[in-house]
Amino acid sequence: MTGAHQAPARWVAPNFKDLLHETWEAETFLFNPLSGHTHVLNQEAMALLETLSQEPSSTRALIERFAAGNEHPQAPQALVQQLMQLELLGLICRVQQQH
Amino acid sequence: MPGSATALIGECDTRQLTGLARHGHLCLRCGPFNIRLHSDQPDMVQLLQRLYHHQQQLDSRQSLSDFSISLQRPWGLRRWWRPQVMMRTDAQTPFEPFPLNHAFPLFEWSLNWLIATQAHQFLMLHSAVVEKDGVALIMPALPGSGKSTLCAALMLRGWRLISDEFGLIRPNDPELLLHPLPRPIPLKNTSIEVIRSFSDKAVLGPIFPKTRKGDVAHLMADRDSQLRGNETAVPGWFLFPKYQQGAELALEPLARGWTFLKVSGNSFNYKLQGARGFRAVAELVKRCPAFSLGYSDLDQAIQQIEAVHTQIVAGRRAGTGRQA
B191/B78 same-domain check:
no
Q: How far is CA B51 from CA B218, B222, B291, in A?
A: 8, 9, 32
Instruction: Return the bridge partners of B243, or none.
Output: B295
Which phi and psi (to 5°) does residue B36 adopt? -100, 135
Is residue B95 within 8 angstroms of chain A, CB to CB?
no
Banded model confidence at residue B3, pLDDT cuts 50, 70, 90: very low
B220/B288 same-domain check:
yes
- Residue B255 inside a domain? The answer is yes
Complex-level ipTM? 0.86
- Residue B323 inside a domain? The answer is no
pLDDT computed for residue B2 by the predictor = 44
Per cent of chain B over pLDDT 90 is 81
B219/B271 same-domain check:
yes
pLDDT computed for residue A34 by the predictor = 92
B110/B242 same-domain check:
no
- Residue B112 inside a domain? The answer is yes
State which of B94, B118, B142 marks the end of a domain. Answer: B118
Q: Where are the beta strands (DSSP E) in chain A?
A: 10-12, 20-24, 27-32, 37-42, 57-58, 93-95
**Which residues of A have a CB under 8 Å from any CB of B?**
20, 22, 24-25, 27, 29, 31, 33, 36, 38, 40
Question: Nearest CA to B83 among B73, B93, B72?
Answer: B73
Q: Which residue has the higher pLDDT, B92 or B304?
A: B304
Is residue B318 within 8 angstroms of chain A, CB to CB?
no
Residues in Cβ contact with B232 at an 8 Å cutoff, skipping those fewer than 6 apart: B177, B178, B179, B180
Q: pLDDT by residue (tens digit) across B98-147?
A: 898 999 999 999 999 999 999 999 999 999 999 999 999 999 977 778 89
A25 and B255 within 8 Å at the Cβ level: the answer is: yes
* pTM to 2 decimal places: 0.91
Taking the mean position of all CA atoms in its chain, how far away is CA A81?
A: 10
B167/B224 same-domain check:
yes
A20 and B275 within 8 Å at the Cβ level: the answer is: yes
Q: How far is CA B310 from CA B259, B292, B314, in A?
A: 21, 17, 6
Per cent of chain B over pLDDT 70 is 95
B147/B248 same-domain check:
yes
Range of the domain at B226: 123-318
B257 and A36 within 8 Å at the Cβ level: the answer is: no
**Pure H helices in B175-297:** 190-198, 223-227, 256-265, 270-273, 275-287
B208/B98 same-domain check:
no
A25 and B256 within 8 Å at the Cβ level: the answer is: yes
Q: pLDDT by residue (tens digit) across B67-93?
A: 999 999 887 766 776 788 999 998 889
B150/B299 same-domain check:
yes
- Residue B101 inside a domain? The answer is yes
B94/B132 same-domain check:
no
B29/B132 same-domain check:
no
B184/B93 same-domain check:
no
CA atoms within 13 A on the CB side of B35: 28
- Intervals of chain A under pLDDT 50: 1-3
Give A23→chain B minimum CA distance, Å.
8
Which phi and psi (to 5°) does residue B303 adopt? -60, -45
- Residue B324 inside a domain? The answer is no
B110/B14 same-domain check:
yes
* Closest Cβ opposite residue B282 in set A22, A33, A36: A22
pLDDT computed for residue B320 by the predictor = 63
Question: How many separate domains does chain B show?
Answer: 2
pLDDT computed for residue B246 by the predictor = 92
